[in-house]
Amino acid sequence: MDSDGFATHSRDLQLVSFRETVRRYVIEADSWRLARSGELATALARPRVHFIYLHHVFDDEIEGFRRTLAEIQKTHHFVTYSQAVELVYAGNVDKPTVCVSFDDGLLSTLQASRVMDELGIKGCFFVCPAIVGEKKRAVVKRFAETRLQYPAMDVLDWSQCEDMLRRGHEIGSHTYSHPNMGDVSVEQAIDELQYSKEHLVRRLGGVSHFAWPSGRWANFGAHAAKAVFDLGYRSVASAVRGCHMPRATPVLPRQACLRRDHVMGSWPLHHNMYFLARSVRRAGPHDYEWPRSWMPTIMSERAASPTAPTGDGLSMAGAAH
């Protein structure tokens, strides 16, 4: 941690608990078993679309991040986020295919984008316009404590987002101010989606993709999912682990919720590869689907356009706890 209490190394975020120790032991044992039997290589060779995502890449994580991408690149075809989305919708993927994304708009992802440039890989960076470019560390710290639920880290500014766009990366929406979308009202959720899109269109010229904060089913809802597509976004991503296997028939964007596997530059390389292989081994042909009870709402006709909110996004729904 630095003098302001901002995280500067991966160790500032690491959990040290009995449960975490046991978890790492289980992953180590299972990854060794799969590698020895050949099942890991077999799983990773299967055609599919695999989305991986991170939050941060500190200086002490850069080499681990680079090694992970280079290892994946040996057996997989990297595509842009938009290309991966369209492959999921079409269903006719014929090779192991991967794309990379980042959540929360943290400054450390800027150097990650440069590592990706060196490897010829382009990613999508999901940001919250309410905090992009914020220089007051007290505001960033409050945002981290009340919204991100982890120690504060410096954030990207608009010029850095523009720079990544010029280099072929994509910028996506992560809501306007990172609330728990499962706890706010439908109206507040729609405000978050619309206000984020308006800012990204005005500052960067457009936005196509959305990933909701925290990424679990409990952190979202059917009406919010419907609103994403009503507002013109092309895709919605979760943080539910999984991947997307080939299918014989295409699906509509509204029918699909993207799964993403979390990896980290500070994790051992074989742990990152283990999570990818585990998702392949568990995958089925319908893993793109939303919860069944959500589908009638998501597929229903568009309602009247919501009214854009006013005021500072940090005072919007859920900012205070």
Distance from C-alpha of 153 to C-alpha of 49, rounded to nearest angstrom:
31
Q: Which domain holds residue 82?
A: 43-300
Q: What mean pLDDT is predicted for residues 65-83?
A: 98
Residue in 264, 285, 286 with CA at minimum distance from that of residue 274:
264
| pTM for this model (two decimals) | 0.93
> How many domains are there within the chain?
1
Strands of the chain, DSSP E: 48-54, 77-78, 96-103, 123-127, 170-173, 209-211, 235-237, 261-262
Q: Which has more pLDDT, 285 or 66? A: 66
Q: 51 and 257 in contact (C-beta within 8 Å)?
A: no
In a domain, 310, yes or no: no
In a domain, 13, yes or no: no
In a domain, 104, yes or no: yes
Question: What does the pLDDT read at residue 285?
Answer: 85
Question: How many residues are listed for the chain in this entry?
Answer: 321
Q: What mean pLDDT is predicted for residues 199-216?
A: 98
- Residue 281 confidence (pLDDT) above 70: yes
Residue in 151, 159, 195, 161 with CA at minimum distance from that of residue 177:
195
What average pLDDT does the chain have? 93
Judged by average pLDDT, the poorest of 118-127, 261-270, 311-320 is 311-320
- Residue 321 confidence (pLDDT) above 60: no
Question: What does the pLDDT read at residue 18?
Answer: 78
pLDDT digits (tens, 9 = 90+) for 159-176: 999 999 999 999 999 999
- Residue 98 confidence (pLDDT) above 80: yes
What CATH number does the domain containing 201 carry?
Answer: 3.20.20.370
Distance from C-alpha of 81 to C-alpha of 99, rounded to nearest angstrom:
6
Please report, as a single letter, which amino acid is at residue 85. Answer: V
